[in-house]
Amino acid sequence: MLFRLNPDNINSQTVDQIVKLLQNGGVIIYPTDTVYALGADITKQNAFERICRLKGIKPDKSNFSFVCSDLSHLSQYAKPISNSIFRVMKKALPGPYTFILEANSNVPKLLKQTKKTVGIRVPDNAICKAIIEQLGNPLISTSLHDNSDDILEYFSDPEVIYQQYQKQVDAVVDGGFGNIYTSTVIDCSNDEPIVIREGLGDLNVLN
């Protein structure tokens, strides 16, 4: 199923349809402020396992992000953070960053693994935000890239994504052309933030 949404004028009925799919354990491909991503309702274990199969990875070896509409869900999945780390996150988000934080006990229960950290994303994308706000839960998510090439390439054309994945996911959300660059990943699981992947996000947020 292909849903088209205009980020400047989001159709609430279309969002409702997408959310119902997610609530029923569906897997979607959707736009973020960086690359298109695979996503599912964080409370649906079977959907998470479907994404792992689609990506060809084991659930206990996976590195998924929790994609939120804002920072209100932080305490549900991460251990308490310092004021300095919170200030950095407030400055950076919403935006093209993934923050690696110490996971609390809810995360292993969700993913059925001994996970010590969790990646938190709050994309600056109106479509993504509308879906998550309507759903009421974060999405468990991972970037969509082309596995057919030795070079890691990210899909940007939603029509091409739909042609390739329409039989493997429940819906593709077309929000226009995506980016080909991923988020900047900042590890904040220790005292000092460490950049472990430089992407779209400006590193000046750390200053």
In whole angstroms, how far apart are CA 207 and each of 54, 97, 193?
Answer: 39, 15, 11
Bridge partners, 121 (sequence order)? 67, 98
Which whole number is the average pLDDT over 186-201? 92
The pLDDT, as a whole number, for residue 97 is 97
Distance CA 31, CA 4 (A): 11
- If one compares 154 and 172, the residue with the highest pLDDT of the two is 172
Residue 52 has pLDDT above 60, yes or no: yes
DSSP 40-52: EETT-HHHHHHHH
161, two tokens = 């994504």
Residue 51 has pLDDT above 60, yes or no: yes
Tokens 């993934």 -> residue: 98
pLDDT digits (tens, 9 = 90+) for 53-82: 998 887 776 778 999 999 998 999 999 999
The pLDDT, as a whole number, for residue 150 is 46
Weakest-pLDDT range from 31-35, 99-103, 148-152: 148-152
DSSP 56-70: T--GGG---EEE-SS
Distance CA 164, CA 58 (A): 22
Distance CA 120, CA 134 (A): 19
The per-residue pLDDT of the chain, averaged, comes to: 91
Which helix (H) or strand (E) segment is 143 a member of? Answer: strand 139-143
Which whole number is the average pLDDT over 41-47? 93
Do the strands 171-174 and 37-41 form a parallel or antiparallel pair, or are they unpaired? unpaired
Residue 85 has pLDDT above 90, yes or no: yes
Whether the link from the prior residue into 94 is cis, omega within 30° of 0, is: yes
Distance CA 51, CA 36 (A): 14
pLDDT digits (tens, 9 = 90+) for 103-144: 998 887 777 666 789 999 999 999 999 999 999 999 999 998
Residue 151 has pLDDT above 70, yes or no: no
DSSP 77-106: HB----HHHHHHHHHH-SSSEEEEEEB-TH
Residue among 129, 158, 147 nearest 33 (CA): 129
Distance CA 115, CA 150 (A): 29
Residue 147 has pLDDT above 50, yes or no: yes
